[in-house]
Amino acid sequence: MNSRLVFAVAGWLVTAALATGTGVAVLGLLGRPLTGPAERPMTAEEIRLALARDTPKPPVRAPTADPTTGSTPAGTAPAATSPGDGTPIAAPATGRRLISTGGGSLIARCDGGLVRLQSWTPAQGFEVDDVDPGPDDRARVKFESDEGKLEVEVRCAGDVPVPRVTRHG
């Protein structure tokens, strides 16, 4: 009879451990979709790092020519200059832009006249209602709160993302 009690307690402990493990596994799955990769908003730090990666560095000015000889120091090349006035040519601007609104922030990129939303993050108190990330001639995201909706539509002007923000009651 004593051995039955030991087996009963051991069985109960094994069952409790399995139930606990199963519960933890199920709770872990609830935090992300059952299939496919999990999407999550970017943090402010991730947005800053993404922009820093694609922000062009200022052009490096080559040493100026010696006024007495007209040559540059050995081993250096003259800086690229615009025709006519000789001013240094700046590095090309990136087609990426951070757009911040009261409803949230997004990073948009223009490439070949098409705009693509690379990321979007709702502001505190807002959530994403609808997204059309592109690439297309326009892309948009709607942020929603208890006070209403804020829609950000982005188009390209050249290779520069240009937002239009509309508040809906």
pLDDT value, residue 50: 74
- pLDDT at 31 exceeding the cut of 70: no
pLDDT value, residue 125: 94
pLDDT value, residue 152: 96
Instruction: Indicate the DSSP class of residue 52.
Output: H
- pLDDT at 146 exceeding the cut of 50: yes
Can you tell me which residue has the tokens 């908003």?
41
pLDDT value, residue 81: 43
Query: In terms of Cα–Cα distance, which of 136, 70, 144, 67 is closest to 102?
Result: 144
Name the band, by pLDDT with cuts 50, 70 and 90, for residue 57: low
Name the band, by pLDDT with cuts 50, 70 and 90, for residue 79: very low
Structure tokens at 28: 């872990």
Q: How many percent of the chain have pLDDT more than 70?
A: 66
List of residues 6+ apart from 4 with CB closer than 8 A: none
| Cβ count near 123 (within 10 Å) | 15
pLDDT value, residue 149: 94
pLDDT value, residue 86: 46
Q: How many percent of the chain have pLDDT more than 90?
A: 39
Q: Give the whole-angstrom CA distance, residue 125 versus residue 45.
A: 19
Name the band, by pLDDT with cuts 50, 70 and 90, for residue 30: low
Residue length of the chain: 169
